[in-house]
Amino acid sequence: MGNSAPRSIGKAEGKLGVLCVGLGAVASTFIAGVELVRRGITKPYGSLTQMATIRLGKRTENRAPLINEFVPLARLDDLVFTAWDPVPDDAYRSCLHCGVFDKHEHVAPIRDFLEAIKPMPAAFDQAYVKRLEGTNVKRGKNKRELAEQLRQDIRDFKAKSGVARCVMVWCASTEIYIVPGPAHENLAVFEKAMEANDPSIAPSMLYAWAALMEGVPFANGAPNLTCDIGAITQLARDKALPIGGKDFKTGQTMIKTVLAPMFKARMLGVAGWYSTNILGNRDGEILDDPESFKTKEESKLGVLEFILQPKLYPELYGKLYHKVRINYYPPRGDNKEGWDNIDIFGWCGYPMQIKVDFLCRDSILAAPLVLDLALFFDLAQRAGMSGVQEWLSFYFKSPQTTPGLYPEHDLFIQHTKLKNTLRWMMGEQVITHLGQDYEPD
């Protein structure tokens, strides 16, 4: 859409359907959390769309509305949820199974609401998620048929719930590592490959295709290739719909994309960065399979290379040894512990170390990202912004870019880009932080 700001942004009228692929820890924590906020039981901590303000104009103007007062976002009360999952647990069972929320304080009060969200049969194939067995699955003679069934699900949901618009967010498992191949190149070959049951077409791609075919934006919260292929980007452009991913940026990578820019800004060298995690939820179990881990590893490894630019700064970062491990450790459940050991060096080459021990809660960090992505993708659609939504890189470990561009990983550049995009959309001045116009003549 070039540089010109959207002429007008459609109002957020009517209900917004949020279609979650997967009803595991992240999706159930997101859905339950929204309902808890709607009932006034808690606050939407961690969500920019609900809590952040945006500065407009000069610092002297004192204009800083809430983002959701500035741009026309769907309201929490207007969200309606549905999901697919090969595991038949409804959202209540899923919350209990995942153990993220306190059963008495946060699950029991919304039991009826959660029990009503039952997963639709999934387009699932264990060949792509080895450590998962599912019974609630679709049957069809080929992948195209499964994808057509997903389209029908979307149409049925729209008709039954009366939503005005929908967005789809992939909150399902990490699939095995797949590289872009001939079957992904364009829409025509992709559709043929679905019919031929080509193994390079993963289930996640069927959801992305079905979403776009039904006029629904698609956001990818896992590191899967999914919508980062020619066929899907082409379809998104043809249908004028937003897409983007990949992999929610939550714990360790969020910290990495804050610390690494600091080292580079101060021209401090980095000799090594060792990151390890223990995690005991189903995601951890799935990532224990080397093929799914490979997909995650690729997504986690890329960030330092792009931020530190070893080719530009060979003396500082040319020899950096970067290692990422994820270890499945059931006693911790969803409460991940992520350690980072960073070996840095400064003036005259003297070495120093930084240790980070982040005792985080995986789904508590991810849930507000799902909310923001759902609301911003819906906004982007109403603003006529189609194709890859790079301005939402803030939310992703491995941001999808327009082909030919490298991704921006620095969390605060991403944050500035996001807010400037909102200003630009609404016809406000973007903020450069130059500040010269405050100086007396």
Chain-centroid distance of CA 206 in Å reads 18
Smallest gap from Cβ 390 to ligand NAD, in A, equals: 19
Smallest gap from Cβ 188 to ligand NAD, in A, equals: 24
Which one-letter DSSP state was computed for residue 57?
S
The arrangement of strands across the sheet holding 165-170 comes to 79-84, 16-21, 165-170, 218-220, 242-244, 387-388
Is the sign of the CA dihedral 312, 315, 318, 323 positive or negative?
negative
Report the SS3 class of residue 409. Answer: coil
Write the interaction track for ligand NAD spanning residues 148-187; mark x where CB under 6 A is met and - where it is not: -----------------------xxxx-------------
Mutual angle of helices 203-213 and 187-195, in 10-degree steps: 120
Which listed range, 50-58, 105-113, 128-136, 183-191, lies at the site for ligand NAD (CB under 6 A)? Answer: 128-136
Smallest gap from Cβ 124 to ligand NAD, in A, equals: 4
Smallest gap from Cβ 81 to ligand NAD, in A, equals: 14
Burial of 342 (0-12, 13-18, 19+ CB in 10 A): buried
> Residue 78 or residue 285: which is nearer to ligand NAD going by CB?
285
Distance CA 89, CA 93 (A): 5
> Residue 98 or residue 194: which is nearer to ligand NAD going by CB?
98
Candidates 17, 33, 44, 86; binder of ligand NAD (CB under 6 A) is 86
Candidates 247, 337, 378, 390; binder of ligand NAD (CB under 6 A) is 247
Distance CA 163, CA 362 (A): 30
> Residue 221 or residue 244: which is nearer to ligand NAD going by CB?
221
Distance CA 203, CA 224 (A): 10
Which listed range, 19-27, 192-200, 312-320, 371-379, lies at the site for ligand NAD (CB under 6 A)? Answer: 19-27
120 binds ligand NAD (CB under 6 A): no
Which listed range, 9-17, 33-41, 282-290, 347-355, lies at the site for ligand NAD (CB under 6 A)? Answer: 282-290
Candidates 50, 220, 233, 250; binder of ligand NAD (CB under 6 A) is 250
363 binds ligand NAD (CB under 6 A): yes
The arrangement of strands across the sheet holding 321-328 comes to 321-328, 269-279, 337-345, 351-359
> Residue 32 or residue 344: which is nearer to ligand NAD going by CB?
32
Which listed range, 82-90, 351-359, 371-379, 413-421, lies at the site for ligand NAD (CB under 6 A)? Answer: 82-90
Candidates 12, 16, 19, 22; binder of ligand NAD (CB under 6 A) is 22
Which listed range, 49-57, 277-285, 319-327, 382-390, lies at the site for ligand NAD (CB under 6 A)? Answer: 277-285
Smallest gap from Cβ 255 to ligand NAD, in A, equals: 13
362 binds ligand NAD (CB under 6 A): yes
Cα 228–232–236 angle (5° rounding)?
115
Distance CA 22, CA 389 (A): 22
Which residues are bridge partners to 326 per DSSP? 277
Smallest gap from Cβ 223 to ligand NAD, in A, equals: 7
375 binds ligand NAD (CB under 6 A): no
Smallest gap from Cβ 369 to ligand NAD, in A, equals: 8
How many residues appear in the chain? Answer: 441
Token couple for 166: 């929908």
Distances (CA, A) of 289 to 8, 26, 139: 47, 20, 25
Cα 202–205–208 angle (5° rounding)?
160
300 binds ligand NAD (CB under 6 A): no
425 contacts 5 by C-beta, under 8 angstroms: yes
25 binds ligand NAD (CB under 6 A): yes
> Residue 147 or residue 425: which is nearer to ligand NAD going by CB?
147
Token couple for 42: 């808690």
Residues in CB range of 139: below 8 A, 6 or more apart: none
Smallest gap from Cβ 219 to ligand NAD, in A, equals: 11
> Residue 70 or residue 190: which is nearer to ligand NAD going by CB?
190
Residues in CB range of 77: below 8 A, 6 or more apart: 38
According to CB under 6 A, which residues from 213 to 242 bind ligand NAD? 221-222
Smallest gap from Cβ 25 to ligand NAD, in A, equals: 4
Which residues of this protein are in contact with ligand NAD, per CB under 6 A? 21-26, 84-87, 98, 122-124, 129, 132, 134, 171-174, 203, 221-222, 247-248, 250-251, 281-283, 286, 362-363, 365-366
